[in-house]
């Protein structure tokens, strides 16, 4: 697709937020219907959150694997159509799932149990396993460790390999792991089958999207979870002390999201080791996401130039140091391996000139968040030169009303002071009742090549629909879901007119 002179409109919505009767959105028939609806209204970008199997706190940014797909996204209906599940099994003992949010504690045991049943039927009933065997061979570099890891995770009821598992397993003693592989061969195979299911279902979804002219924007967190299979199987790539324990963890210093910074707790990379082996682990990671998506949003892009390193054990991210990362050397290797790669750079937070140079020299669009542009002086007056205000956007950027980490536009507006609300309405040329539509229109009118909107802002929802609150864990984070009666047709049809008017068709 030639995108040189085109302008685009997109929707940000993770599949978990689509309604299904199974407690969580999936990548089956409802998702394919959603994609067709986007295409009918001229929307050519669909952005999702990271696709990995979620870990602690159900965060897609703390996945158990950087390569695997989230099994909870699998469509039970598609597996039923394949004859791997019975229609009666989809209703028998199904929990009374709440509407409007994902109750992960109810979804996980019920759905994973059904998925394992389908996997076993596939293993012992499918006549032709050629495609499955090819998938296992092509993805063995991550799949073998992931399947083994999940078996051990279930055995101990905890993914913290570095503190909960016996040392022989946590430190990957070869004889101990060989014994587990032999003893748990069947269950290891089940987890591999589930990843095969994900690969088949996701590629069907992607083919649907691409055939309709829609590009999928994937999301790659820069760091991995401390209790992930990535850190377990490649501990040599991370900074550790003499005992092999993490010595530093990641985060960001205090910013507009949190006055104490954000202590992510992810282990930080030993970039010297990565550089010595040609960044191969990272290149494999990008290769995998390129297979699943069309454009890659790199979360915390600035971390490739310098990252905030916090001594392990600190309670907040306030005390830390900026450490250099490989920057241009890394992206030269990326461009050599993937010359046609398309990347969005999440360049929010503390951005320095060298980070901007890294972004711009590679031609990566950065991000602009309209909510951030509305900064006010003590008298409630707007600062018109703020780079996040839509009239200040350049062409090479991806503009949003907000992201998964922000309040919804409605929720944000309701929290403003009265003087500030008047300034916002004056800027957007709208009433207080129409502020969501007004901000969408302002972003659509901007020079930004890409204009992407969380579906919550298109629907005009309040903070009850917020996806995540940074620096917090639990609650309703990552749980928002459309109600079953939600009809997207009228709101997306209304958006279609703006797409046409502002040259984003």
**What is the C-alpha separation between 439 and 442, in angstroms, rounded?**
5
Structure tokens at 367: 């991000």
The span from the CA of 360 to the CA of 354, in Å, is 10
- Tokens 């992960």 found at: 104
Catalytic residue among 41, 230, 346, 457: 346
The closest of 281, 286, 261 to 271, measured between CA atoms, is: 281
Taking the C-alpha atoms of residue 132 and residue 193, their distance in angstroms, rounded to an integer, is 7
Catalytic residue chosen out of the listed positions 227, 230, 299, 347: 299
Helix spans in 56-184 (H): 76-81, 104-125, 130-138, 140-156, 167-170, 174-183
Q: What whole-number distance in Å separates Cα of residue 150 and Cα of residue 232? A: 12
User: What is each CA distance from 387 to 136, 376, 447, 448, in whole angstroms?
Assistant: 47, 14, 13, 12
Is 219 designated active site? no
At 196 the three-state DSSP class reads: helix
Length of the chain: 505
Cα separation, 476 vs 462, whole angstroms = 14
**One of 405, 414, 420, 434 is an active-site residue; which one?**
405
Query: Hey, is 208 helix, strand or coil?
Result: helix
What sign results for the dihedral spanned by CA atoms 39, 100, 370, 303? negative
Residue with tokens 């503390």: 350
Task: Yes or no: say if 344 and 364 are a contact pair by the CB < 8 Å rule.
Answer: yes
Is-catalytic flag, 133?
no
Nearest one of 489, 500, 372, 362 to 36, comparing CA atoms: 489
Query: Does the active-site annotation cover 463?
Result: no
Strands, E assignment, 154-288: 215-220, 248-252, 262-267
- Cite the active site residues: 299, 346, 405
């Amino acid at each position: 697709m030639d995108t040189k002179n085109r302008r685009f409109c997109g929707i940000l919505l993770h599949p978990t937020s689509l309604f299904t009767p199974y407690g969580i959105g999936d990548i089956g028939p409802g998702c394919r219907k959603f994609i067709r609806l986007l295409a009918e209204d001229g929307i050519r970008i669909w952005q999702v959150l990271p696709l990995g199997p979620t870990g602690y706190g159900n965060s897609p940014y703390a996945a158990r694997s950087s390569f695997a797909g989230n099994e909870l996204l699998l469509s039970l209906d598609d597996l039923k159509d394949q004859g791997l599940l019975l229609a009666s099994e989809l209703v028998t003992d199904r929990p009374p799932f709440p509407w409007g949010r994902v109750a992960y504690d109810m979804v996980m045991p019920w759905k994973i149990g059904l998925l394992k049943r389908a996997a076993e039927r596939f293993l012992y009933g499918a006549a032709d396993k050629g495609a499955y065997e090819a998938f296992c061979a092509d993805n063995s570099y991550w799949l073998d460790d992931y399947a083994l890891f999940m078996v051990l995770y279930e055995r101990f009821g905890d993914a913290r390999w570095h503190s909960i598992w016996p040392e022989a397993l946590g430190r990957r003693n070869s004889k101990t792991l060989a014994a587990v592989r032999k003893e748990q061969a069947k269950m290891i195979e089940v987890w591999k089958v589930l990843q095969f299911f994900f690969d088949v279902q996701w590629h069907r979804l992607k083919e649907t999207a691409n055939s309709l002219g829609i590009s999928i924007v994937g999301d790659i967190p820069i760091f991995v979870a401390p209790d992930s299979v990535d850190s377990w199987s490649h501990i040599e790539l991370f900074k550790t002390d003499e005992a092999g324990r993490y010595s530093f963890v990641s985060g960001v210093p205090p910013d507009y999201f949190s006055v104490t910074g954000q202590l992510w707790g992810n282990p930080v990379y030993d970039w010297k080791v990565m550089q010595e082996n040609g960044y191969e682990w990272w290149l494999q990671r990008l290769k995998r996401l390129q297979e699943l998506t069309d454009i890659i949003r790199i979360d915390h892009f600035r971390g490739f130039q310098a990252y905030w390193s916090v001594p392990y054990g600190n309670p907040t991210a306030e005390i830390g140091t900026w450490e250099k990362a490989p920057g241009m050397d890394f992206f030269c290797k990326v461009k050599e391996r993937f010359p046609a790669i398309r990347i969005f750079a999440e360049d929010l937070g503390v951005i320095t000139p060298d980070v901007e140079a890294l972004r711009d020299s590679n031609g990566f669009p950065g991000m602009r968040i309209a909510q951030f542009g509305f900064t006010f002086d003590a008298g409630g007056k707007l600062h018109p030169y703020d780079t996040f205000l839509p009239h200040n956007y350049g062409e090479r950027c991806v503009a949003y009303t907000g992201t998964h980490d922000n309040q919804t536009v409605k929720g944000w507006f309701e929290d403003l002071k009265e003087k500030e609300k008047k300034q916002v309405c004056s800027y957007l040329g709208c009433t207080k009742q129409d502020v969501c539509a007004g901000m969408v229109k302002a972003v659509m009118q901007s020079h930004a090549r890409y204009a992407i909107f969380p579906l919550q802002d298109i629907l005009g929802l309040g903070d009850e629909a917020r996806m995540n609150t940074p620096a917090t864990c639990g609650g309703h984070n990552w749980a928002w879901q459309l109600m079953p009666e939600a009809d997207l047709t009228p709101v997306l049809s209304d958006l279609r007119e703006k797409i046409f008017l502002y040259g984003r068709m």
